[in-house]
């Protein structure tokens, strides 16, 4: 039986990948040591998801292993050997703000952990496909220098600009801009993954995600834009938006649509490929627009304030141009639009509160979470 090895298997993208490839008939080896709880506290814990995956999937094997532990990671690769035909690397430290708190931890997880996995793949299973979940933060804040127009509820790019119709493509420079330390550590992992494809000939694919979201997201104060907004609405928490009048725009892609793109790549991998993957013009919103939608769909009022202070390195307007991927894999298409995404997150959050109460914070939550 072919094996898919998935890091961050209990997180948003990891768990979606587990379920998707399990349904395709593959055996699944998952690696996740719940570092998300260390990063973000109980809000970020994915233990509930690990428990659910173990209960519902009969070909799922879980390892609570740190991806930075070379010896332990290599042992897992050796155990399953060349039956591993796919590695999906979704484990990461994903927050701008948290990276500045512990730069060594951030870099070791994002860059060194990726390097361990690439070396394990190269040395032990060189014929496997390796998929890396990168981020649009590798482009730094360069998009903020483009001509933006303020509208009632959002910023928009000047319609005469080449990126206005479809968003940012992969030719956008990743150089000479402010990335945040998180963005820099992901750049290192991103370029490493490309290099193992181009230099060593591994079947690597790098997916630079926009706002990745879905019902399995453990939204937390510092990470998980839509999921955390919904959590605040459901649990009557205060939400603080940092900067840009709340009009900053994010394109939102459902975890299923991203993982379905992984599947198409797996069928016909192109060594060293890089793709921007987000909601594109198909699914995007500003923070204010998201708040309006969540209030309308949930019937709940969201208590929020807007600060004049923006998060360092944050994007004002981001739309992913996904046409390169669509050109290479024309059978792929979106299944989930923005309203369907929010509806699913609402249903899942309300259901989880029955078993894992969210509670209400006494303090004001004072960070706009990183998408």
Whole-angstrom Cα distance, residue 253 to residue 335? 10
**Residue 359: pLDDT over 80:** no
Which pLDDT tens digit goes with each residue over 114-164?
999 999 999 999 999 999 999 999 999 999 999 999 999 999 999 999 999
Whole-angstrom Cα distance, residue 333 to residue 287? 25
Find where tokens 């890396």 sit.
132
Domain 3-355: CATH class, spelled out = alpha beta
Which pLDDT tens digit goes with each residue over 275-322?
999 999 999 999 999 999 999 999 999 999 998 988 878 899 999 999
pLDDT for res 314: 87
pLDDT for res 310: 87
Whole-angstrom Cα distance, residue 59 to residue 66? 22
Mean pLDDT over the full length of the chain: 92
Stretch 62-81: mean pLDDT: 98
Task: Report the share of the chain in percent with pLDDT over 90.
Answer: 83
Domain positions in the chain: 3-355
Packed helices 287-298 and 225-235: angle between N→C axes, nearest 10 degrees: 40
**Residue 198: pLDDT over 50:** yes
pLDDT for res 211: 93
Q: Are 238 and 132 in contact (CB under 8 A)?
A: no
Locate the DSSP E strands across the chain: 3-7, 27-31, 60-63, 84-89, 129-135, 148-150, 155-157, 203-209, 211-213, 239-242, 249-254, 273-277, 284-286, 304-307
Give the tokens for residue 284: 């995007």
Give the tokens for residue 221: 């104060």
Q: Are 370 and 225 in contact (CB under 8 A)?
A: yes
Q: Please report which confidence band the pLDDT of residue 1 belongs to, taking 50, 70 and 90 as the band edges.
A: confident
Question: Which one, of 38, 32, 117, lies nearest residue 74 by Cα?
Answer: 117
Q: Are 61 and 4 in contact (CB under 8 A)?
A: no
């Amino acid at each position: 039986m072919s094996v898919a090895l998935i890091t961050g298997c209990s997180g948003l993208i990891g768990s979606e990948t587990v379920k998707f490839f399990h349904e395709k008939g593959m055996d699944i080896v998952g690696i996740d040591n719940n570092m998300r709880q260390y990063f973000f506290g109980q809000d970020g814990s994915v233990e509930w998801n690990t428990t659910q995956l173990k209960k519902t999937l009969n070909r799922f094997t879980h390892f609570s292993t740190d991806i930075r532990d070379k010896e332990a990671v290599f042992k897992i690769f050796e155990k399953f050997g060349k039956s591993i035909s796919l590695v999906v690397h979704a484990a990461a430290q994903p927050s701008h703000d948290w990276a500045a708190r512990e730069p060594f931890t951030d870099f070791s997880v994002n860059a060194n952990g990726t390097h361990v996995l690439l070396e394990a793949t190269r040395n032990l299973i060189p014929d496997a496909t390796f998929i890396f979940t990168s981020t649009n933060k590798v482009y730094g804040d360069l998009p903020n220098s483009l001509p933006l127009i303020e509208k009632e509820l959002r910023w928009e790019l000047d319609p005469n600009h080449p990126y206005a119709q479809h968003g940012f493509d992969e030719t956008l420079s990743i150089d000479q801009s402010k990335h945040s330390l998180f963005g820099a550590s992901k750049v290192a992992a991103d370029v490493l993954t490309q290099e193992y494809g181009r230099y060593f000939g591994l079947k690597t694919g790098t997916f630079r995600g926009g706002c990745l979201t879905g019902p399995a997201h453990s939204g937390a104060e510092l990470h998980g834009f839509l999921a955390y907004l919904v959590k605040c609405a459901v649990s009557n928490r205060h939400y603080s938006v940092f900067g840009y009048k709340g009009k900053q725009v994010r394109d939102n892609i459902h975890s299923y649509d991203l993982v379905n793109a992984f599947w198409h790549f797996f069928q016909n991998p192109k060594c060293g490929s890089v793709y921007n993957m987000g909601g594109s013009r198909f699914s995007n919103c500003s923070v204010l627009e998201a708040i309006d939608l969540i209030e309308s769909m949930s019937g709940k009022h969201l208590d929020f304030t807007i600060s004049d202070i923006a998060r360092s390195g944050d994007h004002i307007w981001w739309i992913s141009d996904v046409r390169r991927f669509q050109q290479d894999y024309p059978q792929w298409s979106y299944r989930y639009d923005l309203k369907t995404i929010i509806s699913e997150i609402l249903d899942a959050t309300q259901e989880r509160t029955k078993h894992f109460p969210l509670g209400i914070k006494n303090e004001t939550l004072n960070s706009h979470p990183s998408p």
